[in-house]
Amino acid sequence: MGDAGPALPGPLDCDVAIIGAGITGALVADALVATGLRVVMLDQREPALGSTAASTALLQYENDTHLTDLARMLGAQRATLAYRACVRSFAVLEARFPELLAQSDYQRRESVYLAADEKAVDRLRAELAARQAIGIHVDWLDEAELRKRHGCRRPGAIVSSLAATLDPVRFTRGVLSGCVRHGVQVYSRAMVERIEESSDALLLHVAGGGNVRAAQVVVAAGYESMRFAPPVADIDNTFALVTEPLADAQRAAALPQIWESARPYLYLRGTRDGRVMLGGADVRFKSAVAREALLPRQVRQLAAAYEELFGEKLPPIAHTWAGSFATTPDGLPYIGRVPGWNPRLQFALCYGGNGITFAVHAGDIVRAGIEGREHPLEPVFGFGRSETVQLGEQGGERKRARAVES
């Protein structure tokens, strides 16, 4: 699929309308192709140019909420289910899209989760033990080994081999191209202003006319979905940069994914062409104008954090950007129907730390809902868990660039 999709030609009828043509919407559409349903996708931008384009695309099973904390919030059984689902995401993704992943610069990497200071070491060692107890392979790096392997000046870290990176825009457009070949209609510059209920369908009112009547609707528009969804998330700003290629390009290419236990935290990875991409310095969202005004100051914070971590000056910066992203109280997504709401309406709100990892499961959950089946991940990724997690205003853990640019 090219950069641009066609504009909505006029009123349409369909079985399923998906609002949002980013990576989550694309994976939902892909899961529905085999059903034979008429699927229409609507995006107010071009496909993949919202949060997908702004993401730093660190794929991890690890949640911003520790397994030990999630067990206290949801119970040990549901916390284990959530973590194991994220572990499975890699095998699911690789089995479903082997050729497309190769074309999208997909690469397995290590994940190194740093103890921000000495006080964090005991907590991370407890987290290490909890993950090992449910069958996740993780190891501990002490201070000396951490500095020797990666140059990081921290007292220790959890290291995992289960992480990856990819080009999210290329991957999303590849998925969408496959969907279009199987009959999915994708329309750009189609902003849904409101959703109107009727007895046998939902009517999507699109700016400029050309409304869509759908038997089922799935909202998968990133944090902008919150115009239609219950208040399950907060919005923050995050800031990111990518450097010019390093003199030792191989050093950058060999870097693992690195992030830390501080909140908000620094996160970084290398690229195949020898650059370093890093982000963080998160602050609460006020407006897009205020966010952009903060960019120079927050980039200086990122540069200082890099220099403190590695004991060296940040290489010259090639590009900087800012974005806004949503976080949930427990760091997990909200996927499926909302209890008490119209049963024709579902959401794929892949918020929290692992937006892409969660999105791998979103299509199957949504399809199960359309087909009237229960899905085994509903207890942890569904809206019904909100009885144990306070909705709305959230303190504590914050996240990286699952961002939407201005």
Tell me the pLDDT tens digit for each residue of 286-319.
888 888 999 999 999 999 999 999 999 999 999 9
- If one compares 209 and 215, the residue with the highest pLDDT of the two is 215
- In this structure, are residues 20 and 165 in contact, taking their beta carbons and an 8 Å threshold? no
- In this structure, are residues 243 and 78 in contact, taking their beta carbons and an 8 Å threshold? no
In the prediction, which pLDDT does 31 show?
A: 97
- If one compares 403 and 2, the residue with the highest pLDDT of the two is 2
Pairing between β-strand 334-336 and β-strand 345-349 as defined by DSSP bridges? antiparallel
Helices 355-370 + 76-96 axis angle, to 10: 90
pLDDT tens for 68-127 read 999 999 999 999 999 999 999 999 999 999 999 999 999 999 999 999 999 999 999 999
pLDDT-derived band at 3 (thresholds 50, 70, 90) equals low
What is the rounded distance in angstroms from the CA atom of residue 92 to the CA atom of residue 398?
A: 27
Contacts made by residues 264-273, CB under 8 angstroms, sequence distance 24+:
264/238, 264/398, 265/116, 265/398, 265/400, 266/302, 266/305, 266/306, 266/309, 267/56, 267/58, 267/400, 268/306, 269/56, 269/58, 269/109, 269/165, 271/242, 272/105, 272/107, 273/245, 273/249
For residue 269 the two structure tokens come to 């990875």
In the prediction, which pLDDT does 401 show?
A: 29
pLDDT-derived band at 4 (thresholds 50, 70, 90) equals low
- Which stretch, 7-21, 92-106, 215-229, has highest mean pLDDT? 92-106
pLDDT tens for 261-285 read 998 889 999 988 899 999 999 888 8
How high does pLDDT run on average in the chain? 90
pTM of the model as a whole: 0.90
Beta-ladder partners of 335: 348
Residue 389 has pLDDT above 50, yes or no: no
In the prediction, which pLDDT does 156 show?
A: 97
DSSP state of 266: -
- If one compares 56 and 161, the residue with the highest pLDDT of the two is 161
- Which stretch, 87-101, 194-208, 226-240, 259-273, has highest mean pLDDT? 87-101
Query: What secondary structure does DSSP assign to 182-193, as a single string?
Result: TT-EEEBS--EE
In the prediction, which pLDDT does 333 show?
A: 95
In the prediction, which pLDDT does 285 show?
A: 83
Residue 137 has pLDDT above 90, yes or no: yes
- Percentage above 70 pLDDT, the chain: 93
Q: What value does the mean pLDDT take over residues 254-260?
A: 92
Q: How far is CA 344 from CA 175, 194, 213, in A?
A: 25, 15, 12
Handedness of CA 320, 325, 329, 334 (dihedral sign): negative
Pairing between β-strand 257-260 and β-strand 107-114 as defined by DSSP bridges? parallel
What is the rounded distance in angstroms from the CA atom of residue 126 to the CA atom of residue 385?
A: 25
Q: What domains can be seen in the chain, in order of their start residue?
A: 1-106+166-233+328-406 (3.50.50.60), 107-164+235-327 (3.30.9.10)
Name residue, tokens 């990666």.
150
In the prediction, which pLDDT does 5 show?
A: 66
Mean pLDDT lowest for which of 16-20, 206-210, 218-222? Answer: 206-210
Mean pLDDT lowest for which of 124-128, 173-177, 391-395? Answer: 391-395
- Half-sphere exposure in the Cβ direction for 390 (13 Å, CA): 5
In the prediction, which pLDDT does 393 show?
A: 35
In the prediction, which pLDDT does 331 show?
A: 92
Residue 400 has pLDDT above 90, yes or no: no
